[in-house]
Structure 1
């Protein structure tokens, strides 16, 4: 089963959910705001994706919290992402043994419709 993580009011998440719905692809949705993901889950994702991909350093939360000025190492970044899931780039999709981060329709078509 495909698992999609994010928040419902995020534009990229809305596009991803629309893609899955219009292509009749089954999934479960995990809303960060309702049930935050754990440090262990984030660490498992980092085995399949780079920190630079998973950490949303262009978002409002990143700027508001002043994360850049903290000059954190990877452990510190993981700690912040664990405590503030909105620092994670969205959506995060677990598909088999793959992890897909962000929304890119052509990429989705190549992965989820093959």
Structure 2
């Protein structure tokens, strides 16, 4: 089963959901806020994509970090922040046994899911 990870009010999540629904692709949605997130999930995301790719540097939560926090980020500190502040995880993350995608690009979804 394909699982989409994210937060429901995110515009990128809405676009990705709409694309999947238009294509008739079934998925389940994992809401970080309702369903939670733990160290194992964050570690899995970082192993699959690299912690720099998982960390959403465009979001408000990241921009509110102090310069010291941003300048001293490493894999360990980033993972701790991602668990504490799941809004800093790039969205959406799509996982199944055969699919690992991060972010939303229609062409990428088309290539991997059609």
Same fold (TM over 0.5): yes
Equivalent positions of 1:17-96 (< 5 A) are 17-66=17-66, 68-70=67-69, 71-96=72-97
Aligned-residue CA RMSD (Å): 1.2
Report if aligned partners of 1:45, 1:99 keep a CA contact under 8 Å in 2: no
Q: Flag structure 1 segments of 5+ consecutive residues without an equivalent.
A: none
How many residues get paired? 112
How much has 1:64 moved relative to structure 2?
Answer: 1.7
Contact in 2 for aligned 1:7/1:33 (Cα 8 Å)? yes
Which structure has greater helix proportion?
Answer: 2
Deviating beyond 3 angstroms after TM superposition, the runs of 4 or more aligned structure 1 residues are: none
